[in-house]
Amino acid sequence: MREPFGLILAGGRGTRMGGVSKAGLRLGGESLLERVQARLAPQVDRIAVNANAALRTPHPVIRDSLAGHLGPLAGVLTGLDWAAALGASHIVTVAVDTPFFPCDLVPRLLLAGSGKLAIAETSDGEHGTFGLWPVSLRAPLAAYLEQGGRKVRSFTSAQGAALARFPDTTPPAFFNINTPDDLARAADWL
Residue 10 marked in a binding site: yes
Which stretches within the chain are classed as H helix?
32-40, 72-85, 105-113, 138-146, 152-158, 180-189
Using alpha carbons only, give the angle 143, 81, 73 rounded to the nearest 5 degrees.
50
Do 174 and 122 touch, CB atoms closer than 8 A? yes
Residue 50 marked in a binding site: yes
Residue 11 marked in a binding site: yes
Residue 181 marked in a binding site: no
Residue 176 marked in a binding site: no
Residue in 54, 66, 56 with CA at minimum distance from that of residue 33: 56
User: What is the SS3 assignment for 88?
Assistant: coil
State the binding site: 9-11, 22, 50, 64, 97
State the binding site for Mg(2+): 97
State the binding site for GTP: 9-11, 22, 50, 64, 97
